[in-house]
Amino acid sequence: MAQGEQGPSMLARLVLVLLGLGFLGAAWVWSHRSEPWAGQMVDRARETVKR
């Protein structure tokens, strides 16, 4: 493979993986928002966004 065709660096891959895990975690909490512990997290996130 040529030097210019290496693709994303390891740091970029790590950042993308961490972002993906963050979004998956947020989606999982959102799906459980009717439960008391998750509802509190969703409410706090909504308050943060309203600022």
Taking a C-beta distance cutoff of 8 angstroms, is the pair 33, 39 a contact? yes
- Cα–Cα distance for residue pair 23/19, rounded to 1 Å: 6
Rg (CA), the chain: 17
User: What integer pLDDT is reported at residue 18 of this predicted model?
Assistant: 98
**Whole-model pTM?**
0.60
User: What integer pLDDT is reported at residue 3 of this predicted model?
Assistant: 59
Q: What is the chain's pLDDT, residue by residue, as a tens digit (51 residues)? A: 455 677 789 999 999 999 999 999 989 988 888 888 888 888 888 898 886
15-37 as b/e, with b when 16 or more CB fall inside 10 Å?
Answer: eeeeeeeeeeeeeebeeeeeeee
